[in-house]
Amino acid sequence: MAHDIAPLVQQTADRLAGKQVGAVVAAVTPDTVEIRGAGSTAAGGGRTPGPDTLFEIGSVTKTFTALALASMARAGTAGLDEPLADLLPTTASVPSRDGRQITLQHLATHTSGLPRLPKGMLPTLLLRPTHPDPYAHCTAHALLSGLARTRLGAAPGERFRYSNLGAGLLGLALARRAGTEYEALVTREICAPLGMTDTLVTVDPARAERSAQGHSRRGRPRTPWNLVDLAGAGALRSTATDLVSYARAQLDIGPVPPDLAEAIRTSREVRHRTSPFAWVHLGWTAHRLHPRQGSHLQIWHNGGTGGFCSFMGFDPEKGIAVIALGNTQHPVDRPAFDLLRTLQTEHAVPTG
């Protein structure tokens, strides 16, 4: 018999609401889904956030970008080992090092050698750490102009170096190859096949009233971020309901279109080890807990924007997933990881 996970999910949401203006937490097991909210969608007003409240999910977007790559690779419209330069305008200049070119797989695993931020952004953030929209200037022209003046910190494929720039360029390149915008690419490759209707870049008026207000750490309202052509690094908005569908697909629970299931397997087959116990897949970070902690597998990604934080983690061996969304610039990782580990150790229902 499956354990009643609802109290655990509510306790985690309540715990997060102690640091967040509002939060929504979801948990998935092979036969159960629970979604609970706490706090408010806006400081000084609003309502309790719920399954269909929209949040900026920040860098969790990168997992969608990487899965779009895996999907296109499966379809033969892009290659994991294809050079980035092949997908950009012929006038673009892509840096290389030690005779190695940056490939799409390098971008999806943060092993391209590219810096974390686009050229010229770091001084801006250091001088104005509370900039209301730091990526607003990241048009394709600006990104490619800066790329031509960028030096790689390591040869491509050599070492892990987390890069918003790399993930954004991957999204830009894939959208260009597909002949569409990034949002339409993600919808076509992932969201439409999974019935995810609330995962998008641009929030229309009909969804605006379901959108949570973002807040600074001190609870002050923050304006939405617009990543322009760096969208693949962190521009998506989503809901707990949609992300549950995404998590179930990652766990291979329920109906998943065969092509997308194959793309998910492809994304998981790629590994770049970052330590004896940790590695990266296409888009995801993974580690195995110490035997004293149960040796459980945890695959995860978090995200943060000017007014939101997010987390998604799962264990495909046990069919367990946890999603946490908050509308404040304060990490949600610790409570989310605690819930994930609790479900793995005490409430997991093995799939085998």
Structure tokens at 71: 């999907």
Q: How far apart are CA 224 and CA 38, in angstroms?
A: 21
Distance between CA atoms of 152 and 99, rounded to whole angstroms?
A: 12
Q: What percent of the chain has pLDDT over 70?
A: 95
The predicted-structure confidence for 10-31, as pLDDT tens digits, reads as follows 999 999 999 999 999 999 999 9
Distance CA 281, CA 302 (A): 14
Closest among 346, 314, 262 to 70, alpha carbons compared: 262
DSSP secondary-structure letter at 191? I
DSSP-assigned letters across all residues of 147-163: HTT---SS-TTSS----
User: Six-digit token pair at 208?
Assistant: 């605006």
CA distance 187 to 200: 8
Using a cut of 0.85, tell me whether the model's pTM lies above it: yes
How far apart are alpha carbons 119 and 111 in whole angstroms? 18
Buried residues in 247-264 as b, exposed as e (16+ CB within 10 A): bbbbbebeebeeebeebb
Tokens of 216: 């600074």
Integer-rounded Cα Rg, in Å, for the chain is 19
In angstroms, rounded to a whole number, what is the distance separating the alpha carbons of residues 351 and 226?
40
Task: Please give the pLDDT value at position 128.
Answer: 60
Which pair of tokens denotes residue 159?
């070492």
Q: What's the pLDDT score for residue 348?
A: 44
CA angle (266 as vertex; 103, 250 as ends), nearest 5: 125
What is the pLDDT, as a whole number, of residue 322?
Answer: 98
- Predicted local distance difference test score (pLDDT) of residue 1: 32
**Residue 64's pLDDT is what?**
99
pLDDT in tens, 84-123: 999 999 999 999 999 999 999 999 999 999 999 999 887 6
Question: Cα–Cα distances in Å, from 121 out to 96, 131, 184, 268, 317?
Answer: 21, 11, 27, 32, 40
Give residue 41's pLDDT: 98
CA triplet 25, 27, 28: central angle to 5 degrees? Answer: 150
Domains, in order of start, for the chain: 6-347 (3.40.710.10)
Pick out the chain residues at pLDDT < 70: 1-3, 123-130, 347-352
Q: How far apart are CA 49 and CA 33, in angstroms?
A: 17
Give the span between the Cα atoms of 116 and 163, in whole angstroms: 4
Count of residues making up the chain: 352
pLDDT computed for residue 346 by the predictor: 77
For residue 221, the SS3 value is strand
C-alpha span between 86 and 71 (Å, rounded) = 18
For residue 30, the model assigns a pLDDT of 92
Helix (H, G, I), strand (E, B) or coil at 181: coil
